[in-house]
Amino acid sequence: MKVAGLFAGIGGLESGLASAGHEAIMLCEIWEPARAVLSARHPDVPCEADVAGLRSLPDDTEVVVGGFPCQDLSQAGLTAGITGTRSSLVGHVFRLLDQRRAPWVVLENVSFMLHLDKGRGLRTLVEAFEERGYRWAYRVVNSLAFLPQRRERVLFVATTTDIDPADVLLADEAFTEDRKTSLSTHAHGFYWTEGIRGLGWAPDAIPTLKNGSTVGIASPPAILLPNGRVITPDIRDAERLQGFDADWTAPAESVARSSQRWALVGNAVTVPMAAWIGARLAKPGCYDRARDRDPSSDGRWSKAARFDGKHRLRVEIGSFPVWKERPPLSEFLRFEGKPLSARATRGFLSRTERGTLRFVPGFKERLGRHLLRMEADAPTAGTRLIPPVAAE
């Protein structure tokens, strides 16, 4: 299908759809560093600067896609809701659809939108699509299904065609056995900026990559490696953890400081997740209606639901549509990370003593030993990597 990509960022949705055979015919992105990436990676696709100034979609648009701004919806962001300055920009999607009703729409956003302001954001979306004659389905999908990053996002598919959107979004489910991990054999990701509450940690994976700051303050996670080292990953591995090629965001350095690449990666849509959606758009599956449930009596939004044209229905389905085999996180990483500083480690450990986050036995003790090594190496800790050490 012909794709119009709104809020394109660095092209995660569009790149994933392209791998499934779809073709981007227009992009729209306002942030200059992201535009630099799009220009380098999608040089033949016209890129409009501002969705608010976009007068119409291309005549041959078959699917409109967009990871509309999440800053006002994110648990780690402003939580201003769907009417926040940034997230309210999704209204331009409906303005453009009113001028030319594209047969398919695919949107992506943070899973926190199901809960923020009692789900007002999602309610706004579904009502707007229903008023325009679209059937829809949405689902929380975890990028851990594809890559070693725990990242839950709401995928929303709407259509005016005869194809049931549930056959695209809700036909696949993978079941995985509990993965056995230990501190001695697997890497464990966590956010060193937290410790009291927040996104927490992840065994053999990293927690959700954040968007950092548009003024260039990076916010990478930390990773405790099996050998006892604690690092923050290289930006090139962060790109790979979103499914991009290493150095995908390097063109942004022509217009912005290099640290802003973290914001670009954290804002992006995970590429293989978009590729899965693209494959199902090209060849829909068959939704099992035995998964249908009545809507929640308390009005809360479930993690998956659909609208068949007459009724809204909850759907019983997990967040893993597939399960892609991948090497352990410690082997997935290709580039040398930077050791977590003594100051950052000390602050994290201090906060864990006051917080509610829980870790496997031995986790904080290993961080304590890392802290001792970093303090012993204090004169050069910020400029060189500590040597590998045997796991205690």
Phi, psi angles (nearest 5°) of residue 10? -105, 15
Q: What is the CA radius of gyration of the chain?
A: 21
Tokens encoding 229: 């080292």
Q: CA–CA separation, 11 vs 74, rounded Å?
A: 20
User: Cβ distance 154 to 121 under 8 Å?
Assistant: no
Nearest to 94 by CA among 132, 122, 68, 139: 132
3 state SS of 55: coil
Q: Would you give the distance in Å from CA 229 to the centre of its chain? A: 27
In sequence order, which residues have a C-beta less than 8 Å from that of residue 254 and are 6 or more positions away?
A: 36
Tokens encoding 272: 């293989």
| Distance separating the N- and C-terminal Cα atoms of the chain | 54
Q: Would you give the distance in Å from CA 358 to the centre of its chain? A: 24
Which residues belong to the active site? 70
User: Cβ distance 189 to 222 under 8 Å?
Assistant: yes
Using CA atoms, how far residue 345 sits from 25, 54, 230, 359, in Å, is: 47, 47, 9, 15
Tokens encoding 346: 């000390």
Nearest to 278 by CA among 228, 251, 330, 243: 243
